Chains A and B, each alone.
Chain A
Amino acid sequence: MPTSLRDSPGARVGLSIAIATGLYGISFGALSVASGLDIWQTAAMSLLLFSGGSQFAFIGVIAGGGTPVAAASAAALLGIRNAVYGMQLNALLHPQGWRRFAAAHVTIDESLATSTGQSDPLEQKRGFWVAGVGIFVLWNVFTLVGAFAGDALGDPKRWGLDGAAVAAFLGLLWPRLRSREAGAIAVVCALATVVAVPFVPPGIPILVAAVVAAAIGWFGSARAPEGEGLEPDIDPYRGTDSPGHSTRTAGNP
């Protein structure tokens, strides 16, 4: 029997990440206006582009004196991973009709991670939509708050919001580090990122890590036993210290 939405572990994790990520929209709004975009351009980015990495890449290039073309290119490159996320989510959720377009728009790191962090198909759906729509609403609201009140608020770092983002990404990664191989891949990709940072524009180190990860997946698959546990469609919460583990177990006895 499916759990009610109230007790849904997918919805709960989705709401948590929505609040954490949505609040971070303050920093985007403030930094975007500071980089030279006006309030409406800033709002359009959160409303229509809606991909934190791509948005930060865009304003990062502009703030660093780059051209709008370079900024759009950086944003597009950083958005490529969303196509992979879309492929995974299409296989998990099978959205039809207009829902496919809505799902595509709220396909981001957090909605994917929330969805694939659940094992029950219903919870995967709930996690995706609660995280995706929740972040969309809050991200846009707090983008405006940040854009209008950025100067008055002062440095978002003072509030530790950059630290909150670090914690959120680690919280999303943590449940996936069940096997030694997963941990090794995380370390290798983190190292590749750190090595790349000084040499390529901001945002690109993440793509370098993606290429490294894809190469490990593509060329390493012959050696690893089938079903090693790296596929996104199996339960990443089982046997870990992850948040939501106890809830999920309680919800699915």
Chain B
Amino acid sequence: MSLWFWVIVACVVGFLTKLLGYLLPRKWLTNPRVARVAGILTIGLLASLTIANTVATGQQLALDARLGALVAAAIALWLRAPFLLVVIVGAAAAAGLRLLGWP
């Protein structure tokens, strides 16, 4: 029951956090510095999510098949592949490398 309670707490807090962004005063948003911070934050978070999904396994750093997925996706993006193809290439690279014995 305690686990259920904290599952619901996490859900409520998560939604209220999202909603807070929509309720903050408009004035904050027209501040160019805030807009710039938000733009850089997006780049930083996407870069962080990319690399964390590539090399982090819990608190361990691991170079495994996901690195191959990153490289393959970068090549696909370089060749102007559409987004979905990039994603499929990433999955195929990771699955393929594992078939070849990579972790």
Chain A residues with CB under 8 Å of chain B are 13, 16-17, 19-20, 36-37, 41, 44-45, 48-51, 53-54, 58, 60, 62, 64, 68-69, 71-72, 75-76, 79-91, 95, 100-101, 103-105, 107, 109, 112-113, 116, 157-174, 176-177, 182, 185-190, 192-194, 197-202, 205-206, 208-210, 212-214, 216-218, 221, 224, 226, 228, 230-233, 241-245
Instruction: Assess the B94–A83 pair: CB atoms within 8 A.
Output: no
B48 CB to closest chain A CB (Å) equals 3
Chain A interface helix/strand/loop/mixed: helix
The answer, among A54, A103, A109, A216, for a CB contact under 8 Å with B10, is A54
Q: Tell me which of B14, B52, B56 has the highest count of chain A C-beta atoms within 10 A of its own C-beta.
A: B14
Instruction: Assess the B52–A205 pair: CB atoms within 8 A.
Output: yes
Instruction: Assess the A159–B7 pair: CB atoms within 8 A.
Output: no
B75 CB to closest chain A CB (Å) equals 11
The 0/1 profile, CB within 8 Å of A marked 1, for residues 43-59 of chain B is 11111111111111011
Q: Tell me which of A36, A72, A81, A216 has the highest count of chain B C-beta atoms within 10 A of its own C-beta.
A: A72
The A/B interface has a contact count, at CB < 8 Å, of: 335
Instruction: Assess the B18–A163 pair: CB atoms within 8 A.
Output: no
The answer, among B8, B17, B40, for a CB contact under 8 Å with A216, is B40
Q: Is B82 an interface residue (CB 8 A)?
A: yes
The verdict on A163 contacting B66 (CB below 8 Å), with A197-B52, A213-B45 known, is yes
The 0/1 profile, CB within 8 Å of A marked 1, for residues 74-103 of chain B is 101110111110111111111110100000
Instruction: Assess the B11–A163 pair: CB atoms within 8 A.
Output: no
The answer, among B10, B12, B39, B56, for a CB contact under 8 Å with A205, is B56
Instruction: Assess the B98–A158 pair: CB atoms within 8 A.
Output: yes
Q: List B residues 1-60 near A (Cβ within 8 Å).
A: 2-15, 17-22, 24, 26, 28-29, 32-33, 35-56, 58-60
